[in-house]
Amino acid sequence: MEYDIYHFWRSVMAIKISIIVPVYNLEYLLLKCVDSILSQTFTNFELILVNDGSTDNSGEVCDEYAKLDSRVKVIHKENGGVASSRNAGLDAAKGKYIGFVDNDDYINEFMFETLYNNIIAHSSDMAVCDFQKVDEVQCVDTKNADSHYKIQHFNTKEALNQLYTPNYLTFVCPWNKLYKSDLFDEIRYENSINDDETVAHKLLYISKKVTYIYTTLYYYVQREESQTNSTFHINRLDAVYALKAREVFFREKGESELHQKALKHYMEKFFWYYYLAKSNLEDIDRELKDLKRTFDDSLIYLLKHKGIGWKQKLMCLLFRIHPVIFEFTRDANIKNRKNRQTGI
């Protein structure tokens, strides 16, 4: 009898949620982030702060929180990027469910209670809420939440198709969600600027049921420096490689409908980023050559794609055979389109 009681209480007191926060500098925003997590109405969680080699006082701030609250665990590591920080948190996590918060963002007090209650009530693999973009000084009431929210359930295919809707960011971003921890048994984040894109479809693919909660509980902070710094960097090409990986993933899984959508999405982004890079960067011949190889691999599938018109297919062929003529034709088409819009 005592044995049964012991195991009963052990199961009751076991950590339900592991909340992972990758930390790199920005100590002035970290305080608000951590305070919003420790103020959650749902209290049975561990907070894993992963200090990714911060060069300011963020590491010390993390340690101070650990002294004040036993739920806080701190991992100090060499700088390796947000993906490696999330992975370090996943490796250390003990919770049955996993949540992520970025260290410059903050959350509503009811976020994890709402996500947890819904994932339990509906036996879901993942619960998703809406997020709101805010600036650093914007005042948001995080102590109240709409209790009359709409809920929608998606099966695997329905959830994956959300990646090709105007609401796709809600399903790609890692931090407005609660996941069953076993979704990460075989999945880790990849070290790229678009690590979200490389993992989102894999998690959705093994989720039999996803519950979407139509209420804003996560606040994504758009920092002034990141908004004003619009310079195109070479690592933004990672987005193309991420979408290429998704196209290959669906192709290998035999998911023809999803593969068609992924292929078209990849093609559109390929041309967009290819010419952004070519127009804004110097000495990138090798990078563009590598990028072209991903296009070559997809060309035969693009030409077979029923959802891509013959003009687009012709442009794809032209790009591969004679890029100079392709550029001339593309620029002429853009100019004609602008002239039609302005009535010239």
Inter-residue contact 118 to 213 (CB < 8 Å): yes
What is the mean pLDDT of the segment spanning 149-162? 97
Comparing CA positions, the residue from 110, 102, 135, 138 lying closest to residue 25 is 102
Domains of the chain and any CATH numbers: 1-222 (3.90.550.10), 234-342 (no CATH)
Higher pLDDT, 164 or 340: 164
What is the mean pLDDT of the segment spanning 208-229? 85
Comparing CA positions, the residue from 164, 142, 152 lying closest to residue 216 is 142
Name the β-bridge partners of 216: 130
CA distance 15 to 96: 7
Inter-residue contact 157 to 261 (CB < 8 Å): no
For the segment 72-119, what is each residue's pLDDT rounded down to a tens digit? 999 999 999 999 999 999 999 999 999 999 999 999 999 999 999 999
Q: pLDDT at residue 338 above 80?
A: no
For the segment 323-337, what is each residue's pLDDT rounded down to a tens digit? 777 776 666 555 555
31-49 burial string, b = 16+ CB within 10 Å, else e?
ebbbebbbebebeebbbbb
Name the β-bridge partners of 46: 18
CA distance 78 to 52: 6
CA distance 204 to 213: 16
Inter-residue contact 47 to 37 (CB < 8 Å): yes
Torsion of CA 89, 93, 99, 105, to 10 degrees: -40
User: Residue 262: which residues within 8 A CB-CB, separation 6 or more?
Assistant: 243, 246, 247, 249, 250
Higher pLDDT, 342 or 292: 292
Which two three-digit tokens encode residue 296? 């070559």
Task: Give the residue ranges of DSSP H helices in 165-309.
Answer: 168-172, 195-205, 224-228, 238-253, 256-280, 285-304
Q: pLDDT at residue 162 above 90?
A: yes
pTM above 0.75, yes or no: yes
For the segment 291-307, what is each residue's pLDDT rounded down to a tens digit? 888 889 888 888 888 87
Q: Which pairs with CB-CB distance under 8 Å and at least 24 residues apart come from 232-238?
A: 232/276, 232/277, 232/280, 232/281, 234/277, 234/281, 234/284, 234/287, 235/192, 235/193, 236/193, 236/273, 236/276, 236/277, 237/273, 237/277, 237/287, 237/291, 238/192, 238/193, 238/194
CA distance 235 to 82: 14
For the segment 9-30, what is each residue's pLDDT rounded down to a tens digit? 555 568 999 999 999 999 999 9
Inter-residue contact 241 to 192 (CB < 8 Å): yes
Instruction: Name residue 230's amino acid.
Output: S
What's residue 119's pLDDT?
Answer: 98
